[in-house]
């Protein structure tokens, strides 16, 4: 199977993860023009599973390093399988809340608040269980990112107040999503071998871990998304008849969103072998910066903002960039 062999390549993969995790939400925004997020999410989850299978039978099944994809699945210990699947369940709960927050408060708010919280807590949790990198630089970077989250929240409050439209529900959903999202990566990481080239018996390697993670997402979605359809955060209840009304293009947009997200997840897991789980996860969750850029400059979610709000947004971007730079430096 393909395994990154250097820290620099691992960082490049983390940057791609950041781009993927920060950009998949655009598919929801595109579909959301005529398509509720609860319906979008069925296709999104399908995309996650399809990409996990595709990657396993391609990069995961070629090369001389580590165990092959199918061999790795066959030898996996049930405890590790369940751990990876639990990661999928926790992620799915958090991501449904995040997508709901995006539909209510927009990308420029939901991502910085939700994913920013996930980044800060997730880095701390993953570093405690698998310390790798300089702690002082690592947590200084996290502190700057937390500052960026606070700045973004202040900017949103000032801008919303000027429009007399404050979505407290959107903020609360973002916070809830962030707390849950901070936990899922650790479950997947604990199921994996410490050395991808010569993995321990019973442990998972990246490609099988991503597949079992995807199974956890799919299985939990049968319950979670069904409940959200019947008791939505906003709007009237939905049925599967509503899902069947979607066009092929609308369904494919959702599948594409899942593929983009899981490309990021897969590269993050692969990069963790050289970068460590805390740095790999933290850099990937720099997706917040990418999503905020999309929200501000493409979707115009702060259109008409005052000069003070624009200054706060610029300061938020600078704090995020500085924090991410420190995360990279922590691993050198």
DSSP 176-212: HHHHHHHHHHHHHHHTB-S-SSSPPTTPBPHHHHHHH
Structural domain that includes position 83: 7-330
Distance CA 8, CA 15 (A): 11
Q: Using one digit for the tens of pLDDT, what is the confidence trace for 4-26?
A: 999 999 999 999 999 998 898 88
Q: Between 105 and 147, whose confidence is greater?
A: 147
**How much is the average pLDDT of 131-158?**
85
| Cα angle value 122/97/254 (rounded, 5°) | 105
Distance CA 161, CA 165 (A): 6
Q: Using one digit for the tens of pLDDT, what is the confidence trace for 262-273?
A: 999 999 999 999
In a domain, 291, yes or no: yes
Distance CA 283, CA 11 (A): 8
In a domain, 2, yes or no: no
Please report, rounded to a whole number, the percentage of residues in the chain having pLDDT higher than 70.
96
pLDDT reading at 162 higher than 80: no
Distance CA 282, CA 277 (A): 8
Report the pLDDT value the prediction gives residue 29, as an integer from 0 to 100. 80
Distance CA 212, CA 88 (A): 8
The whole-model pTM stands at 0.86
Report the pLDDT value the prediction gives residue 270, as an integer from 0 to 100. 96
Of residues 60, 82, 20, the one with CA closest to residue 258: 20
Of residues 276, 270, 273, 315, the one with CA closest to residue 292: 315
Q: Using one digit for the tens of pLDDT, what is the confidence trace for 175-224?
A: 899 999 999 999 999 999 999 999 999 999 999 999 999 999 999 999 99
pLDDT reading at 45 higher than 90: yes
Of residues 91, 109, 98, 103, the one with CA closest to residue 31: 103
Distance CA 56, CA 33 (A): 34
Q: Using one digit for the tens of pLDDT, what is the confidence trace for 281-326?
A: 888 887 777 877 887 777 777 777 888 988 998 998 899 889 889 9
Distance CA 108, CA 170 (A): 12
Residue 163's pLDDT band (boundaries 50, 70, 90)? low
Distance CA 316, CA 135 (A): 23
pLDDT reading at 55 higher than 90: yes
SS3 content of the chain, % helix, strand, coil (to 5): 80, 0, 20
Q: Using one digit for the tens of pLDDT, what is the confidence trace for 66-84?
A: 899 999 999 999 999 999 9
CA distances from 287 to 15, 39, 97, 115 (A): 9, 24, 17, 8
Structural domains of the chain, count? 1
What does pLDDT average to over the chain?
89
Radius of gyration of the chain (CA): 19
Distance CA 182, CA 288 (A): 14
Please report, rounded to a whole number, the percentage of residues in the chain having pLDDT higher than 90.
57
Q: Using one digit for the tens of pLDDT, what is the confidence trace for 221-240?
A: 999 999 999 998 878 999 99
pLDDT reading at 166 higher than 60: no
Report the pLDDT value the prediction gives residue 287, as an integer from 0 to 100. 76
CA distances from 69 to 204, 212, 268 (A): 10, 12, 18
In a domain, 165, yes or no: yes
Please give the backbone phi and psi of residue 217, each rounded to the nearest 5 degrees, phi first.
-65, -50
In a domain, 220, yes or no: yes
In a domain, 1, yes or no: no
Give the tokens for residue 5: 């062999």
How many Cβ atoms sit within 10 Å of the Cβ of residue 53? 15
Q: Between 294 and 60, whose confidence is greater?
A: 60
In a domain, 77, yes or no: yes
Q: Between 167 and 94, whose confidence is greater?
A: 94
* DSSP state string for 237-284: ---HHHHHTS-HHHHHHHHHHHHHHHHHHHHHHHHHHHH-HHHHHHHH
Weakest-pLDDT range from 92-96, 154-158, 196-200, 320-324: 154-158
* Chain centroid offset of residue 332 CA: 24
pLDDT reading at 256 higher than 70: yes
- Measured in residues, the chain has a length of 332
């Amino acid at each position: 199977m393909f395994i990154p062999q250097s820290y620099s390549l691992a960082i490049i993969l983390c940057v791609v993860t950041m781009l993927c995790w920060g950009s998949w939400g655009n598919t929801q925004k595109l579909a959301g023009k005529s398509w509720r997020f609860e319906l979008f999410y069925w296709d999104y989850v399908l995309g996650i599973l399809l990409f996990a299978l595709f990657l396993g039978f391609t990069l995961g099944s070629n090369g001389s390093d580590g165990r092959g994809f199918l061999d790795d699945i066959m030898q996996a210990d049930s405890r590790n399988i369940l751990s990876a699947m639990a990661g999928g369940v926790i992620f799915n709960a958090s991501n449904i809340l995040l997508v709901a927050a995006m539909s209510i408060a927009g990308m420029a708010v939901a991502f910085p608040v939700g994913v920013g919280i996930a980044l800060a807590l997730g880095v701390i949790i993953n570093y405690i269980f698998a310390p790798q990198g300089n702690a002082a630089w690592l947590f200084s970077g996290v502190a700057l990112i937390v500052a960026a989250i606070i700045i973004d929240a202040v900017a949103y409050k000032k801008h919303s107040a000027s429009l007399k439209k404050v979505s407290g529900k959107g903020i609360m959903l973002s916070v809830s999503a962030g707390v849950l999202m901070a936990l899922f990566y650790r479950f997947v990481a604990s199921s994996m071998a410490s050395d991808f080239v010569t993995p321990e018996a019973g442990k998972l390697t990246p490609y099988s871990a991503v597949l079992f993670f995807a199974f956890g997402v799919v299985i939990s979605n049968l319950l979670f998304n069904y409940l959200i359809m019947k008791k939505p955060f906003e709007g009237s209840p939905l049925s599967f008849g509503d899902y069947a009304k979607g066009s092929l293009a609308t369904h494919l947009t959702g599948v594409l969103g899942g593929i983009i997200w899981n490309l990021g997840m897969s590269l993050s897991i692969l990069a963790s072998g050289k970068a460590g789980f805390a740095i790999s996860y933290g850099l990937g969750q720099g997706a917040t910066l990418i999503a905020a850029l999309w929200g501000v400059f493409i979707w115009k979610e702060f259109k008409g903002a005052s000069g003070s709000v624009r200054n706060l947004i610029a300061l938020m971007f600078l704090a995020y960039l500085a924090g991410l730079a420190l995360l990279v430096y922590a691993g050198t």
